[in-house]
Amino acid sequence: MSMQNSPQFNLPVQHIVLRFPDNQPYQLRSLDASFPNTAAARQDLIAASNEPFLYDRIFRERLKGKPYDEERAAYFLGWGPEGWKNNAWFVFVVLNPEGRIVATIDIKSNQLNGAEIGYWCSEQASGIMTNTVLALCDIAREAGFRHLYARIAPDNARSIGVITRSKFTPAGTEIRNGRNLLRFNKIL
C-alpha cells in the first residue's frame, strides 16, 4: 500500500473567497513563482504590515520596532515562491476585487499529519479571514493534509474568533519563546 507523504498542489492555486457580510468576491492565490512581483504588491504589503494593530501583533518584535519596509516586502515576495518550489511551505495572498493584496495566510510545513497555519489581514479587508481559513482547509485537504493547527496568544481575541468560527478546537496551551500560546487543532 502506498501512502502519500508530501502535499500535492496544482499551481497556481486560485480560489474565490466571499467577504462577510456583503459577499464581495476576493481571491485566495498561491504566492508561487507565477505571482507578479510588482511595486504595487510591495506597496500593499508595506501598507498593511505597518497598520498599528497588525504591526503590533506580527512585526514589532521581529523587526525590533523598525517599520516594515520595501526590503522586507521584497523578501516576502521571494520567500513565498521558494516554499512552493521546494514543496516545503505554502504561502498564499488574498486579493481584493481590485487585485490588491489585503491578507496573507500560510501553511508552515509539509507535514501532512500536523502543519501550522498563520495569517493576517488588513483592517480594510476585515470580514475576509474566516472564509479564507475555511477555503484554505479545503485546499489543504485536497492536497493531502490531514491535520492543521494554529497557535494564538491568549489575548488575541480576534484571531481566536477566526479560528473558532473556522471549526478548529482548543487543544491546550504551549510555550514558545517563554510565552504561553493557545493551540487549536482541526482534522481535515
Ligand X SMILES: CC(C)(COP(=O)(O)OP(=O)(O)OC[C@H]1O[C@@H](n2cnc3c(N)ncnc32)[C@H](O)[C@@H]1OP(=O)(O)O)[C@@H](O)C(=O)NCCC(=O)NCCS
Residues 133-162 that bind ligand X (CB under 6 A): 152, 156, 158-159, 161-162
Examine residue 21 and say whether the peptide bond preceding it is cis (omega within 30 degrees of 0): yes
49 lies in the site for ligand X, by CB under 6 A = no
For ligand X, the closer of residues 9 and 20 by Cβ is: 20
x/- string (CB under 6 A) for ligand X, residues 53-92?
Answer: xx--xx----------------------------------
Min CB(154)–ligand X separation in Å: 11
x/- string (CB under 6 A) for ligand X, residues 2-21?
Answer: ------------------x-
Cell (9 digits) for 102: 489585503
CA distance to 14, 22, 119, 160, per residue, from 10 (Å)? 10, 30, 22, 30
User: Among 129, 136, 143, 148, which residue sits at the site for ligand X (rule: CB under 6 A)?
Assistant: 129
In this structure, the number of other CB atoms found within 10 A of the CB of residue 107 comes to 23
- What is d(CA 17, CA 15) in angstroms, rounded to the nearest whole number? 6
Sheet of 90-95: strands edge to edge?
A: 14-18, 25-30, 90-95, 101-107, 115-121, 147-152, 179-187, 169-176
The footprint of ligand X (CB under 6 A) covers 20, 53-54, 57-58, 119-121, 126-131, 152, 156, 158-159, 161-162, 165
